[in-house]
A and B are shown apart, each in its own frame.
Chain A
């Protein structure tokens, strides 16, 4: 059995409209974020991964399981969709319980697992109320509970933090991290980049149905050659530091930070620049910190896709 989620040359067309095209991915365990503007193909990719839509070409395997084998696929996959409709007349508990019974669980076991999942998303008090009367955030949480209920190895979560208040967001992020730490595959789509930045082990950037980049954020950033790496050095005498650093051949541009206590540098070869820094005598300049300034998702996203529909 493969230990990856694999897309091989996958395309999906809705009639003549492109969903995704020629996608090749190999997703490892950990938190992977799908990032892209609306219509870039994030949800299509998730629906393909879970067999809700059929690929037009290519091959998809989730831990070695074909996506047209729901009986085995959903034993290892839990999917929290963006679809905001529920079977009519069910309470939150009944919704999860029915899902688990459909999975083939014995009634008593399903009841126990349902309460456990509801507890994990902090919805115990509302569990006996009809889902139709839930707020948007509660509906989001009950969907998460459904995805989590059977303890899947792969969690596919489409915009899972939408509609949640800050406290609930923090709880959910902790939940995703805990799952990832246990070796789960957590696939999250989001267009809230600072959250993606905080939680992701790797990102997949999508634009107009194409995968623009994938991998760990730093390595993706390093591959973007046309945009020099930005480094922020916090120090007490930024002007003197700038004068010294211009002697290095790796620096392209420098500007004093607006608070006057730092220097923002641009370099085409960050690794060699750091090495060069060690060799420079800095004449007693007090360096507080040296950190990359644009190896976050937001910067990578802006470099590769542009800044449309970015939520910072």
Chain B
């Protein structure tokens, strides 16, 4: 790109960014980007409350407990043995259940539930007639579970809805919005190559979407980390790939903006009504797992799914169709996925460059 083109691209970006960031009709994109942040904030608040309660229970106990103490409780132990080991339970529920016996008489079944805490993790011990029947340990910080939850929100809400529709709103308006506002001639009257203009607009859209969604992604990560204490945070970031995952999610977000952005840029030139390509793309991306391998390659989500760092496990008993939607049955290597998405985006940009050269100013037909 020569220096003149670069100056022109910068001028287009300056004009477009101002319009994109401060357009009233784009406010919903900010809402969409803020939704998962709100979700993780709520989660963090709930978890912080839970930690507070857990710490409070631990303080109420007879003696300080360790995680090993909690793990030592087994089914079949008596209530006395449990109390002897862990002390008097700080939280204790009990009730009596009248139950009919085979002979027809009624017996009183004694139920008890003890709750202990080591300050981070809770143990729920269910006793029936003084004998331990069930033990549930609720870990205060379950990195695996948290990572899967984050991955679920990222893949099924953030990528498929927030970034998808955000890119639709921004990239489709780059040319389409100008035609509707009857102001596209401003650009077409300048001594600028149409494809340079298209690249300028694409980069402006990319900068806007990346700024909005990468900030959203970082805020989501910050909100997600918020309920961790310093020690756990360090553990998660450095020992459990927390930092690595956050960086990968940022990268996937940028690639999603490139892929969906290029697609919606060309769609904005080819279609007058954004609902048609949006619906078609949403369906195409949705049915991607069911498509033959060749067709899969012509979608964005196919590559993005392969790049996501955490695989979402399929619970046993999940219907096969849902299981196919959730799992990534046909993953490809990250270098191939990145190359694939860049090729799909390049193809879309090539079609855009052809289309922009054909565009005419004919507002009356709109």
Residues of A within 8 A of B (CB): 14, 47, 50-54, 68, 70-75, 79, 81, 83-89, 98-99, 101-106, 146, 150
Contact B191–A72 (Cβ < 8 Å): yes
Contact B191–A52 (Cβ < 8 Å): no
Taking the closest CB of chain A, its distance from the CB of B24, in whole angstroms, is 10
Contact B181–A70 (Cβ < 8 Å): no
Would you call B318 an interface residue if the criterion is a C-beta within 8 Å of the partner chain's C-beta atoms?
A: no
Would you call B232 an interface residue if the criterion is a C-beta within 8 Å of the partner chain's C-beta atoms?
A: no
With A68-B357, A72-B191 already in contact, the answer to whether A83 and B365 are too (CB < 8 A) is no
Complex Cα gap A83–B357 (Å): 20
Complex Cα gap A99–B187 (Å): 8
Would you call B15 an interface residue if the criterion is a C-beta within 8 Å of the partner chain's C-beta atoms?
A: yes
Q: Which residues of A contact B357 (CB under 8 A)?
A: 68
Taking the closest CB of chain A, its distance from the CB of B218, in whole angstroms, is 29
Complex Cα gap A84–B363 (Å): 11
Interface size class of B (residues with CB under 8 A): 20 to 34
Taking the closest CB of chain B, its distance from the CB of A55, in whole angstroms, is 10
B346-363 vs A, Cβ < 8 Å mask (1 yes, 0 no): 000000000001101111
B96-125 vs A, Cβ < 8 Å mask (1 yes, 0 no): 000000000000000000000000000000
Taking the closest CB of chain A, its distance from the CB of B355, in whole angstroms, is 13
With A86-B183, A87-B183, A101-B7 already in contact, the answer to whether A47 and B361 are too (CB < 8 A) is yes
B6-25 vs A, Cβ < 8 Å mask (1 yes, 0 no): 01101110110011001100
Give the residue name and chain of the B residue nearest to A83 (CB): B185
Q: Which residues of A contact B190 (CB under 8 A)?
A: 70, 74, 99, 102-103
B190-214 vs A, Cβ < 8 Å mask (1 yes, 0 no): 1111101000000000000000000
Give the residue name and chain of the B residue nearest to A99 (CB): B190
Taking the closest CB of chain B, its distance from the CB of A57, in whole angstroms, is 15
Contact B12–A102 (Cβ < 8 Å): yes
Q: Which residues of A contact B19 (CB under 8 A)?
A: 87-89
Would you call B188 an interface residue if the criterion is a C-beta within 8 Å of the partner chain's C-beta atoms?
A: yes
Taking the closest CB of chain B, its distance from the CB of A163, in whole angstroms, is 17
Would you call B93 an interface residue if the criterion is a C-beta within 8 Å of the partner chain's C-beta atoms?
A: no
With A47-B361, A83-B363 already in contact, the answer to whether A102 and B181 are too (CB < 8 A) is no
Q: A70-B188, A102-B11, A150-B191 are in contact. List 12 more A-B contacts (CB 8 A).
A: A68-B357, A71-B192, A71-B196, A74-B190, A83-B182, A85-B181, A87-B183, A88-B19, A101-B7, A101-B14, A102-B15, A104-B7
